Structure 1
Amino acid sequence: MSSSSDDDQPLVKAKSSETISKSTDAAMDKDMPTTDSDTVKPGVSIAFGPVDDDNMDVDQPATNGAAVNGKRKASLPNGKSYKDASDSEDDDVPLQKRRKTSAAAESDDDDDVPLKKSGPIRATAHQIGEESDDDVPLGEKLQKEKAAMEKKAGKQAAATRRASKSGEAKRKAAKKESDSEDDKPLAKKPAPKKQANGTKKVKKEESDDDAPLTKKAPAAKKTKAAPKAEPASAKKGKGKVKEEDLEEGEEGEEEYRWWEDPTKGDGTTKWTTLEHNGVVFPPEYEPLPKNVKMLYDGVPVTLDIKAEEIAHAFGGMLNSTHNVENPTFQKNFFADFKEVLDKTGHGKDKDGNKVKILKFEKCDFQPIFNHVDAERQAKKALSAADKKKIKAEKDEKEAPFMFCMWDGRKQKVGNFRVEPPGLFRGRGEHPKTGRFKKRVTPEQITINIGKEAMVPAPPAGHKWKEVKHDQEGTWLAMWQENINGNYKYVMLAANSDIKGQSDYKKFEKARELKLHIDAIRKDYARELKSEVMAERQRATAVYLIDQFALRAGNEKGEDEADTVGCCSLKFEHVTLRPPETVIFDFLGKDSIRFYDEVKVDPQVFKNLKIFKRSPKKEGDEVFDRLTTSGLNKHLSNYMPGLTAKVFRTYNASWTMAELLKKMKSTGTIPEKVKDYNNANREVAILCNHKRTVAASHAQTMEKMEDKINGMRYQQWRIKQMMLDIDNKIKKKKGADYFALPEDLSGDWVKEHQASLVEQEKIKIQKKFDKENEKLEAEGQKPMKAKELQDRMAVATDLETKFKKELKTGKVEAEGKGPSVDKYEAQIEKLDQRIATAKTQSEDRENNKEVALGTSKINYIDPRLTVVFSKKFDVPIERFFSKTLREKFDWAIKSVGEDWEF
């Protein structure tokens, strides 16, 4: 039904009919490519956001007879992640010259990033190791490659199930025979058969290869004892969990290899004993100096401390124009600010007269920002020694909270700090951005601890909301925040046993899916043509989730961000471009805009046309006869615990496993790392883990090119030194060998020489400052400025030398005992360094549009990365940062190079 035009009538959303008639099916077949009834074309992404709205014209021609959505929303601003974690961990960093990334890079499933205005990303042939001048379109190549992989996955699943059934039958037969033997009288039992040498023939032990994945422990090397885990350090503190208690039992204790016991943690009881010291609260708000006040209509006003804290939060972030200039942010902030003002009596001028603050436009927070910014600059200006001292004091105070005792084992606690009050930023177009996050008090916090343990004392004058002994929970403390009403939990750190077990189960669940994937794909291929609307919608949704890694999505309340997933897609989120291109455009996880142009199976395209048929219009659901819970319930019929999100992990891990089997990586370590990245990139492309190009990418590439050119210039100088020693060598090697590379112009040489001089000055200055700090720390007098001036002579001499070289065009020989042979050896070394740098540069360029970190951290089984590391002898440090090595310690220690996903 279409909604009534009468405003007084309730809005009725259009709903698909229960069944699809043959006439409807036939009508939609017009202009559609013919399809094979038994197979389904894999889907591939052909262009992924960001989007330039001015260049978008995807709605023409209309494909479903209804008015399609008009101009799309403007792209979201390219803001940062606003996860206010106290400790950001560098999990998603590139392998070479790691750059700092936001804490958001660590969050699970974090492959959606804010989109900037530019053309949509399109996968290139070069990114998947193909020649760009091939006549076959890239989309077809990707589809063929996915089809081959899916066919192989189906065959392997069927073969594994047959082997499993055969093994089970053999075990049953053996058991039956054994039981039959047991029933015979002892005297009549046949003696054990003997081999030719007279020894008893021992029955060969059954291999566990036939056992279901859920019942198998991952293979661990038995030839070598695993290295002991280094005991985690803990600083002294006055917490109730004593230091000696934390360290007790660590010396001489065998490493706890929980991954060799897959049943561990499967029950409801997660712990028997639990001790910890609670949480760390943020410091109380410090009032502004009396001379720093917010202005209202140009008048300085004194505020109550509660209102001033909110004003301080806004004033302190005036440099974040992305937020403070956002109308939604302003509206929400002022609503919360005014609520507190109404309760506290607004403000007062210098004479004590009441100043009623009614309009946001008249508020001026600049004086507050100036004060906060001055404090920031003062902190930055602190010496390294002072910064180190402040950090040490902070660490000492927090040391008692960093660890807990979990079943007698010392475990690191993750987020033990209570989030400080401040303005909620959210991500993307969050409707509550700008709301004030209130201070969390002990009265809001529930503690979870062992019955026999001493409950940590709350701050003086306060009490805990509740103390629980929930042995089924893996949390230590919890509270409810005021913005979205979400519960915040204090959990163990990523490298703890509990977190490791969670990751292990996640990837084992994906391994289990490989036994059922063929049946699932066969079923949804058949149901794509079902006459029952609910079945056809469900099959189409599973296809999209399997092929494009779409999240399932859930219904949202009115006060929640209007984010969607596959099951909650609305009419305007899906645009159809014949013959088989579908364009998704919606707010995904964390209110981040998701844009993807995909090529689908013709039957899927046809189904989406049917689901969008008139009278459906904007606001109506595409999958109106499907819910996320219903979808997951259907999937659980194939295997226990199967949900939509398992497909993301399975597809990425299976694809990587297949690529690793074919890989023959040789050469230097950087070349091998590039091979791994190539495979990771192909996984990201085939599994649709795309990202927008970083704003700093062009600058980074420019720096890498400058670095390479700098080494080429260095080679040229060395060659000129060879001529300085032996001018006859020019005839032997030829003039071209000694010529300055054509692309290194005279202006570039001047700029490069100037930068080398500047680098030398900075290097001298830093060394001087560091030595002075050390002297001061030891109570000695610092060196005088003249010492620095004397040291700077090295940079001055270098500058003079460069000027002379530019003037004369000659470079004098340098170094001890200069010789042609030595210089040639130096040039050869530089050749190797240049080759390595070029490999890294090419790798980074190819990876600019692909979320390698997302694939590697969240979806590719980390054991596959370990397999590559061991098989091709590449240090695991080249793939996993220290944080990730701790997180995936179980994977590093549990498999060898012959392990298979």
Structure 2
Amino acid sequence: MSGDIVMSSDDEKPLGLKSAPRAQNGQNGHVASNGNGRTVDESSMSEDDDMPLSQASRVKSEPMTPVRALKRKKAQSTNTSSDEEAPLASTPAKRATSGAVRMNGALQATTTTKPNGKATMKESTSGEDSDDVPITKGKRATNGNGAAKPPKKKVKQEEDSDYDKPIGRKAPPRMKRKMKKEESDADDESPSDDDKPLKKAPAKKAATKRVKKEEADSEPPAPKKRGKAKEEAANGSPQKGKKKKEEEEAEIYRWWEGQEFHGEDASVKWHTLEHNGVYFPPPYEPLPSHVKMKYKGKPVDLPPEAEEVAGFYAALIESDHTKDATFNRNFFDDFKGILKKHPPRDGTKITDLSLCDFRPMYEHFESEKAKKKALSPAEKKELKAAKDALEAPFMHCTIDGRKEKVGNFRVEPPGLYRGRGEHPKKGTLKKRVRPEDVTINIVEGVPIPKPNVRGKWKDVQHDNTVTWLATWTENVNGNHKYVFLAPGSALKGQSDMAKFEKARELKNHVDRIRLDYNTELRSRVMADRQRATAMYFIDRLALRAGNEKGEDEADTVGCCSLRCEHVTLQPPDQLIFDFLGKDSIRYYNQVTVDIQVFKNIKIFKDNKDDEDQLFDRVDTAKLNKHLQSNMKGLTAKVFRTYNASITFQEQLDQGTPENGTVQEKLNAYNHANRMVAILCNHQRAVPKSHEQSMGKMRDKLRGLKYERMKLRHALFNIDPKYKKKKLYAEDESDLDDDVIAEHEERLKERDLEKVEKKFVKDNEKLAEEGKERLEDSVLKQRRKDVEEEYKRLAKERGTGKATLKRDRSTDKIEEAIAKLDDRIKTFKLQMEDREAGKEVALSTSKINYLDPRITTAWCKTHNVPIEKLFSKTLLTKFPWAMEVEGQWKF
């Protein structure tokens, strides 16, 4: 049955939260246009309840399409005569015009209401590094003679998992008993401020806890073993359960229970640190001799160095990257540079990218992918085991006597830089990183590890005031790359906890800070007035502070680097923001602001061109220095974390149904998370597979309704009086005979496939046991039985009666129908949730901006398994957050 069948009846529509905003238009889609430039909210939401929380008022009127002037040399004056509003001098700009395009409807998604009923507003920008605040580590206890006492605890391991993929299992035991450490390879982990030392705070030895053998012995008996597991147990084969039990008996390092954490960094991060360096990718292996790139239709004999670079481009020829002019230009410039050093062995002169044919290389790569995909599970397992064996020495380090997981221990292989958004360097060659490029950091006096490829380290240092294990500089943007411990390590955990504690501390100062900058909005000193206006935007709209960019970097801006073209005045008190934020994610928002802020922006723009800086007397360094005077350790990033977490807490408190089902509560949680994601501008393009995924969900929903229909008809067959009962009388909305026939045909194909797979599996098992295989007649009979079953179902179609495979009483059937009703309701909620979140990335805020203790407390208060919201990776990343009580508030 096709996925495009429309579900139009009421019971076919997914259920949703009353407060969830439902507005979409085209690909940008939060609001639709009414044809005259105004935006119209398409949802049936209440006026204020579904807008995200923020701290500034918004007008509910429809925004008018702004008309921008290129010059503002002679702007109309405001009604004032004081010297304090004299226009600032024009500042020459070094930046190109913004590449932003209008994004209809972002403003609808960035407002909410406070309890007093006033509309407020918030910002959108994409995710930052997870470590906004330096980590903390105090002094270690000594053994009496000055030597440091290493902790005795080890952390257990689990398998890899994605941050944002919740796991379906029972709730874990409380962390006071045991905690598992997960094997997570955070290759994309961004460098944080972990290596910036602060004052050292004296501390006692962290508390630790040993899992007693008696506790393990007192656990409930394991379930009965079946099949292969039972057989292995009988033969004395090693069991996973035994290994798991041994891991659970390991000691755990519980740093958050001791005195070692004080919320601020200590100058010394570790006393001993040993590791095996980083894992370099294997050297390039040349392609088979018959696979060659072509130029003007003829094969080219490339040396390995040039062939490797050509292969990078060949692998992408079916992607959108190779259709981009900037990508192609940058690639070909670098490719010509490689060809100059390593020219074709047959003397071919390559001067035009359009004459290059990479198709033979692409087809070879696709063929190799298909071969790997076709491998048997045993072969795939063997390959993975070999890969794991090579990487195993680099996955862990020893820090202060503890074994800790290393995060991004793999060095990124060479390739073509893809960037994010309209990055000017996309397509540039990312060169291979070699040991000569890498500096490692270990304790002094231990053997220096040897790289897994030829070469020597660039440098070896012994700096215990930083937390990175290795560093190098990549060639594309000149950025410093670092290898840190995994997210579940003690140092990373302390860093995360310190960041969120700093944001919580801001609650005690935010009212005073707001009073100060509101007063300075009228300051006679223009630098102070600009700074106050910037703080207003950072606080009320959660804008990033913004830093200056070079000419070869993407044209992205933050608050302090806004240009006049990025902010349009809409009298009497509205501002239209339109610019590219971090990762070239567009920020578009029309907001109502304080009248003095509106007046200030008009003054700042007077006598300036579009390319001039809006805040020409403020930069990020000056702003953060001023914030430090308001609260120790306060930066613009702290405001962003604070606004995200406080918004999330308030949205959960207001929107969680007390007596709702688990799925209704999960939808409320995801709704609150979406409000934060919209606030922080964590947008994403609608996944290409979204419609296909929704089609499968619609088919599954119809499958549930088909089951319900068959049960109803079985009731009617047993006792016709059930037809008069309201609960069973109405037919399922979208199940006509054609749809039912199509659904039954799919079920038939699936069951036939199952029969064949089971036949093959049974024969494999018999072969292992040395018995004779089943005759083909057995398979034919099984197929015939399936055919007969679906013939029977076809005869029942349209009769309103049905016979079940096994007899059931009417009570059992009624109970089954009730369960299906619950499943259908839950599934509709899941569909609604997926559709609502198709343009919003929820994982970034969950990982970086939302205090995990909010989620833990909410789950305990509302009896929601935390595994529904946190993956195993997040449970490992935030063990310190798992033990707060349900009453805890941000």
TM-score scaled by structure 2?
0.73
Q: 1:409 to 1:71 in 2, by over 3 A?
A: closer
- Work out whether residues 720 and 738 of structure 1, in 8 Å CA contact, stay in contact via their aligned partners in 2: no
The 5 A counterparts of 1:116-155 are: 119-121=104-106, 123=108, 141=113
Deviations 1:837-885 (Å, cap 9, x if unpaired)?
2232333344445544333322221101111111222211111011111
Q: 1:46 to 1:786 in 2, by over 3 A?
A: farther
Equivalent position of 2:341 in the other structure: 343
Counterparts of 2:313 and 2:288, CA distance in 1 = 17
Amino acid at match of 1:305: P
Counterparts of 2:469 and 2:801, CA distance in 1 = 68
Q: 1:515 to 1:869 in 2, by over 3 A?
A: same
Between 1:471-480 and 1:450-459, the stretch displaced more is 450-459
1:625 aligned onto 2:617: yes
Equivalent position of 1:740 in the other structure: 731
The 5 A counterparts of 1:317-332 are: 317-320=316-319, 322-332=320-330
Secondary structure of 1:462 counterpart: coil
1:827 aligned onto 2:827: no
The 5 A counterparts of 1:451-600 are: 451-459=444-452, 461-600=454-593
Equivalent position of 2:705 in the other structure: 712
Q: 1:318 to 1:722 in 2, by over 3 A?
A: same
- Work out whether residues 41 and 143 of structure 1, in 8 Å CA contact, stay in contact via their aligned partners in 2: no
Equivalent position of 1:300 in the other structure: 299
Q: 1:815 to 1:45 in 2, by over 3 A?
A: farther
1:42 aligned onto 2:56: yes
Residue 378 of structure 1, CA deviation:
1.2
Q: 1:415 aligns with which of 397, 408, 428?
A: 408
Counterparts of 2:761 and 2:560, CA distance in 1 = 59
Secondary structure of 2:882 counterpart: helix
Secondary structure of 2:802 counterpart: coil
Residue 227 of structure 1, CA deviation:
1.1
Equivalent position of 1:281 in the other structure: 280
Between 1:621-630 and 1:354-363, the stretch displaced more is 354-363
Deviations 1:682-733 (Å, cap 9, x if unpaired)?
4445666555554544444444343333222321221111222233543x53
Secondary structure of 2:299 counterpart: strand
Counterparts of 1:857 and 1:259, CA distance in 2 = 23
Equivalent position of 1:645 in the other structure: 637
- Work out whether residues 716 and 739 of structure 1, in 8 Å CA contact, stay in contact via their aligned partners in 2: no
Equivalent position of 1:53 in the other structure: none
Counterparts of 2:267 and 2:439, CA distance in 1 = 20
Counterparts of 1:641 and 1:121, CA distance in 2 = 32
Counterparts of 2:118 and 2:856, CA distance in 1 = 24
Secondary structure of 2:470 counterpart: strand
- Work out whether residues 437 and 482 of structure 1, in 8 Å CA contact, stay in contact via their aligned partners in 2: yes
- Work out whether residues 294 and 364 of structure 1, in 8 Å CA contact, stay in contact via their aligned partners in 2: yes
Question: Sequence identity of aligned pairs in percent?
Answer: 51
Counterparts of 1:762 and 1:579, CA distance in 2 = 68
The 5 A counterparts of 1:68-467 are: 73=99, 119-121=104-106, 123=108, 141=113, 226-230=176-180, 253=251, 255-258=253-256, 260-261=258-259, 262-263=261-262, 266-320=265-319, 322-348=320-346, 354-459=347-452, 461-467=454-460
Q: 1:58 aligns with which of 54, 61, 65?
A: 65
Residue 900 of structure 1, CA deviation:
2.8
Secondary structure of 1:597 counterpart: strand
Residue 447 of structure 1, CA deviation:
1.4
Q: 1:753 to 1:817 in 2, by over 3 A?
A: closer
Equivalent position of 2:793 in the other structure: 802
- Work out whether residues 281 and 418 of structure 1, in 8 Å CA contact, stay in contact via their aligned partners in 2: yes
Residue 505 of structure 1, CA deviation:
0.7
Q: 1:363 to 1:828 in 2, by over 3 A?
A: same
Amino acid at match of 2:304: I
Q: 1:225 to 1:403 in 2, by over 3 A?
A: closer
Secondary structure of 1:645 counterpart: helix
Equivalent position of 1:169 in the other structure: none
Deviations 1:447-497 (Å, cap 9, x if unpaired)?
111113222112465211111111111111111111111121111111111
Counterparts of 1:843 and 1:464, CA distance in 2 = 50
Counterparts of 1:694 and 1:144, CA distance in 2 = 38
Q: 1:635 aligns with which of 611, 627, 647?
A: 627
Counterparts of 1:590 and 1:148, CA distance in 2 = 26
Counterparts of 2:500 and 2:177, CA distance in 1 = 24
Counterparts of 1:145 and 1:739, CA distance in 2 = 43
Counterparts of 2:820 and 2:478, CA distance in 1 = 59
Counterparts of 1:846 and 1:72, CA distance in 2 = 30
Between 1:602-611 and 1:789-798, the stretch displaced more is 789-798
Counterparts of 1:623 and 1:801, CA distance in 2 = 77
Counterparts of 2:771 and 2:468, CA distance in 1 = 50
Equivalent position of 1:882 in the other structure: 872
1:841 aligned onto 2:831: yes
Residue 524 of structure 1, CA deviation:
1.4
The 5 A counterparts of 1:676-691 are: 676-684=669-677
Amino acid at match of 1:299: K
Between 1:301-310 and 1:571-580, the stretch displaced more is 571-580
Residue 675 of structure 1, CA deviation:
3.1
Counterparts of 2:276 and 2:741, CA distance in 1 = 61
Counterparts of 2:625 and 2:644, CA distance in 1 = 23
The number of equivalent residue pairs is 707
Q: 1:453 to 1:232 in 2, by over 3 A?
A: farther
Secondary structure of 1:575 counterpart: strand
Between 1:780-789 and 1:533-542, the stretch displaced more is 780-789
Counterparts of 2:64 and 2:728, CA distance in 1 = 53
- Work out whether residues 303 and 347 of structure 1, in 8 Å CA contact, stay in contact via their aligned partners in 2: yes
Deviations 1:810-851 (Å, cap 9, x if unpaired)?
543214333322211111111111122223233334444554
- Work out whether residues 231 and 250 of structure 1, in 8 Å CA contact, stay in contact via their aligned partners in 2: no
Q: 1:887 to 1:382 in 2, by over 3 A?
A: same
Residue 310 of structure 1, CA deviation:
0.6
Amino acid at match of 1:899: W
Secondary structure of 2:397 counterpart: strand
Q: 1:645 to 1:118 in 2, by over 3 A?
A: closer
Between 1:861-870 and 1:444-453, the stretch displaced more is 444-453
Residue 248 of structure 1, CA deviation:
13
Residue 334 of structure 1, CA deviation:
0.7
Q: 1:777 to 1:673 in 2, by over 3 A?
A: farther
- Work out whether residues 57 and 119 of structure 2, in 8 Å CA contact, stay in contact via their aligned partners in 1: no
Unaligned runs of 5+ in 2: 1-53, 76-94, 123-172, 185-244
Equivalent position of 1:863 in the other structure: 853
Amino acid at match of 1:622: L
Residue 403 of structure 1, CA deviation:
0.9
Amino acid at match of 1:829: K
Q: 1:821 to 1:590 in 2, by over 3 A?
A: same
Secondary structure of 2:629 counterpart: coil
Amino acid at match of 1:503: D
Residue 308 of structure 1, CA deviation:
0.9
Counterparts of 1:639 and 1:633, CA distance in 2 = 10
Counterparts of 1:852 and 1:146, CA distance in 2 = 27
Secondary structure of 1:355 counterpart: coil
Q: How much is the aligned-residue C-alpha RMSD, in angstroms?
A: 3.7
Equivalent position of 1:900 in the other structure: 889
Amino acid at match of 1:755: R
Deviations 1:279-327 (Å, cap 9, x if unpaired)?
211111111111111111112110121111111111111121x111111
Secondary structure of 1:371 counterpart: helix
Equivalent position of 1:99 in the other structure: none
Equivalent position of 1:817 in the other structure: 807
Q: 1:764 to 1:265 in 2, by over 3 A?
A: farther
Counterparts of 2:355 and 2:56, CA distance in 1 = 58
Secondary structure of 2:412 counterpart: coil
Q: 1:142 to 1:703 in 2, by over 3 A?
A: farther
Equivalent position of 2:6 in the other structure: none
Unaligned runs of 5+ in 1: 1-39, 49-55, 76-116, 125-137, 151-222, 235-246, 349-353
